Amino acid sequence: MSIQQTFNKYFNNHSETSDKHWDPKLKTHYFKTTKDKGFKAVEDYFRNSASFEVVAVSEERGEISANYKKGKKAFVIVTIIMVRPFRTAVDFSVTTESAIPFDLGYSHKLIPKFYEELKKELPLVDAPKGS
């Protein structure tokens, strides 16, 4: 991890996943499911967890936003996109609510926890290296 990556990880209040993220734990995860089933699994996870309060749901856009209420509060947006049959990408964007402009890596640590929970509900197509 470079100095810039370390700085961004700890002195920031926002983290998000992507296909080419420098941290393998924050690379986009692909699940063997359809968009509809993946969307329902994420929505059910949020709605059935006392840690979340669902704010908005847009099936057309494949987005769910929720407030994370356990520990530090955070705003979470999940995007679910089917890239080909039975290969659906799930990406997270997490912004920690804080009086200071950084969260010491809290948002960065939440995303792998969310993926772990999702892996209990959906079959992973292939795990990013190091996750």
Q: Which domain holds residue 86?
A: 3-126
Q: Is 68 exposed, middle or buried (0-12, 13-18, 19+ CB in 10 A)?
A: buried
46 within some domain: yes
131 within some domain: no
Helix, coil or strand: residue 26: helix
pLDDT at 62: 97
Sequence-distant (≥ 6) Cβ neighbours of residue 67 within 8 angstroms: 52, 53, 55, 73, 74, 75, 76
61 within some domain: yes
Nearest-angstrom CA–CA distance, 31 and 8: 28
Supply the CATH number for residue 17's domain: 3.30.310.220
Beta strands in 40-110 (DSSP E): 52-58, 63-68, 74-84, 87-96
Q: What is the pLDDT of residues 65-77, one digit of tens each?
A: 999 998 889 999 9
Count the domains in the chain. 1
30 within some domain: yes
Q: What is the pLDDT of residues 23-65, one digit of tens each?
A: 899 999 999 999 999 999 999 999 999 999 999 999 999 999 9
7: Cα separation from own chain's centroid: 21
Q: What is the pLDDT of residues 107-124, one digit of tens each?
A: 889 999 999 999 999 999
Q: Does residue 92 register a pLDDT over 90?
A: yes
